[in-house]
Structure 1
Amino acid sequence: MKVVSPSELRLLGQFRLERDAGPVELCRNGQRLLAFVVLRRSVPRTVLAGTLWPEVTEERARGSLRTTLWKLPRGDQPLIRCSGDALVAAPGLHVDVHAFTETALSVVQGCGPPLVTGRAPCRLPRELLGGDDLLPGWDEEWVLLERERLRQLRLHALDALAEALVREGRPALALEAAWESLRAEPLRESAHRAAVSAHLAEGNVGEAVHHYRSFRRLLRAELGVEPSARFTRLLARGGVTVPPTGVTPR
């Protein structure tokens, strides 16, 4: 039996296509075409041509689509195949965005990956770490929309992961997850709450108060608002009294 060469496509960070662990060069239109089909999973030809070549007539856009498809690498397993009038990515193409999305959604939904199994070592899912943007430098509208969707999904997954780790009694890892979220969005209250919850779980009340006050100052300076009542209730449950609104903590 002939072995089909594995293919891997990276869209988080710079575009990179690999086969047999070696890079495959594509023209710019080939990159755009492959990225769009992979992100949408299945795309009608008309939608694909109109999105990638919006400045020309439909006939010319379809011609550009045919030319770009013809220029894609050919081999035992094509990168894109036809399904009726739609184009879909080859099932053997491994895509980092799909791996990230599956991991992030499983965390948000609370069904994985398993974080604690007895005394087994616990690690943060590598797909959620690093935070590379989708195709940085690409400014087309369809890329911008997908980039923001993935950014929001990552932030929600990190927040959910931090909260789950606090509940599982792993506050140090919870802090790591919370700080990953805060590096991406410093004003994100849910991540700050997760960090404070981790400090309280360790009994580090001073650290919890310091973190809360730092966030409160940042929020006032940037947005002119106070942390939510939910945040103050979190501290109150930990035995911490928060000064009322309008009183600057020392």
Structure 2
Amino acid sequence: MSVRPLPAPEVRESNGRVGGRRGPDGRAAGGEPARLTLLDGFALDCGPRSVHVSKTLQRLLAFVALRGRATRALVAGTLWPDSDESKAFGRLRTALWRLHRLGVPLLAAHGETLRLHPSVRVDVDELLAEDGSGRHPRGGALRELLPGWYDDWVLVERERLRQICLHTWEESAVRELRAGRFAEALEAVLVALRAEPLRESPHRLLLEIHLAEGNYSEAVYTYHAYRMLLHRELGVGPSPRMRRLLDAAVEPASGAGGPSPGERGEGPAR
């Protein structure tokens, strides 16, 4: 069965005016396909114009965009959890009708399954664009998904995106480190640290990069700065794994005149 786009006979702008008709690919004559922004706030752009939609339609578009595809039952039950089944389906039908009134093919139906129309571009997908080495979040900062939205499904998707980005930056740092590209490795790991300062894995990678470059003093500083940060914020210390990583590299250097663990203000490793 082919995917059936929800019909879009005409374009209605946010002021209610009827615009030009759009073809099956979602483009107006001479225009651009629709673009959905979910990072740092919701926005819907149809070609050069920003289109205002209600919060209900925002939630519908965002949910389907983040899920990739979803059954009508899942959409209705998630977006209207306090309504009985018949009322939730009725609200979904109303929301789909209102989307249709925009005149832009934003959703496509495949039986009971809904998904975004293939022409709609989503910034989250662009952030997680695939290249030859896997999924790479672009840019040097972690952008928040739908800030100010506190639905349970948004919180789950927000955390999922955060974890994907953090792991991807760390994986990028590991690849660059193994390839001997220390500056690039530092850039990737520092992005992860800005996004989550208390997370140990990027601090551990930063320590490894300094050690690989032979910068023992910076490695020691990295360890102690993180130890003090954890103690101040959480009342705990770094993991034994991080301590062993530092000691294994610095202790051999101590025999050549480098600082010993005692001279660094610490006892022997346990």
TM category (shorter chain) comes to 0.7 to 0.9
Deviations 1:58-91 (Å, cap 9, x if unpaired)?
2221111111111115578611011111111111
TM-score (norm 2): 0.76
Higher helix share: 1
Q: Describe the SS at the equivalent of 1:238.
A: helix
Corresponding residue for 1:60? 87
* Equivalences for residues 234-245 of structure 1 within 5 A: 234-240=245-251, 242=261
User: Is 2:80 aligned against 1:26?
Assistant: no
Shift in Å at residue 50 of structure 1? 1.4
Q: Describe the SS at the equivalent of 1:68.
A: helix
> Judging changes above 3 Å, is the alpha-carbon distance between structure 1 residues 243 and 188 closer, same or farther for their aligned structure 2 residues?
farther
Report if aligned partners of 1:128, 1:158 keep a CA contact under 8 Å in 2.
no
Pick from 145, 154, 164: which aligns with 2:165?
154
Pick from 224, 231, 237: which aligns with 2:242?
231
User: Larger deviation: 232-241 or 167-176?
Assistant: 232-241
Question: What is the distance in 2 between the residues matched to 1:78 and 1:142?
Answer: 24
Corresponding residue for 2:150? 139
> Judging changes above 3 Å, is the alpha-carbon distance between structure 1 residues 235 and 81 closer, same or farther for their aligned structure 2 residues?
same
Corresponding residue for 1:118? none
What amino acid does structure 2 have at the position aligned with 1:93? V
Following superposition, which runs of at least 4 residues in structure 1 exceed 4 angstroms of deviation?
73-77, 240-244
Report if aligned partners of 1:235, 1:242 keep a CA contact under 8 Å in 2.
no
Report if aligned partners of 2:35, 2:121 keep a CA contact under 8 Å in 1.
yes
What amino acid does structure 2 have at the position aligned with 1:53? W
User: Larger deviation: 93-102 or 38-47?
Assistant: 93-102
User: Is 2:64 aligned against 1:37?
Assistant: yes
Question: What is the distance in 2 between the residues matched to 1:230 and 1:208?
Answer: 14
Q: Describe the SS at the equivalent of 1:239.
A: helix
Report if aligned partners of 2:65, 2:115 keep a CA contact under 8 Å in 1.
yes
Question: What is the distance in 2 between the residues matched to 1:193 and 1:155?
Answer: 14
Report if aligned partners of 1:172, 1:198 keep a CA contact under 8 Å in 2.
no
Gaps of 5+ in 1: 115-124
What amino acid does structure 1 have at the position aligned with 2:57? G
Shift in Å at residue 140 of structure 1? 0.5
Question: What is the distance in 1 between the residues matched to 2:236 and 2:94?
Answer: 54
Question: What is the distance in 2 between the residues matched to 1:184 and 1:37?
Answer: 27
* Equivalences for residues 1-250 of structure 1 within 5 A: 4=27, 5-72=32-99, 78-103=105-130, 112=133, 127=138, 129-240=140-251, 242=261, 247=266
> Judging changes above 3 Å, is the alpha-carbon distance between structure 1 residues 128 and 233 closer, same or farther for their aligned structure 2 residues?
farther
Question: What is the distance in 2 between the residues matched to 1:68 and 1:58?
Answer: 15
Question: What is the distance in 1 between the residues matched to 2:223 and 2:122?
Answer: 39
Query: How many residues matched?
Result: 231
Gaps of 5+ in 2: 1-22, 252-259
Shift in Å at residue 226 of structure 1? 3.0
Q: Describe the SS at the equivalent of 2:44.
A: strand
User: Larger deviation: 29-38 or 55-64?
Assistant: 55-64
> Judging changes above 3 Å, is the alpha-carbon distance between structure 1 residues 41 and 183 closer, same or farther for their aligned structure 2 residues?
same
Deviations 1:29-65 (Å, cap 9, x if unpaired)?
0100000011111111111111111122222211111
Shift in Å at residue 196 of structure 1? 1.3
Point out the structure with max Rg over C-alpha: 2
TM-score (norm 1): 0.82
Shift in Å at residue 128 of structure 1? 5.0
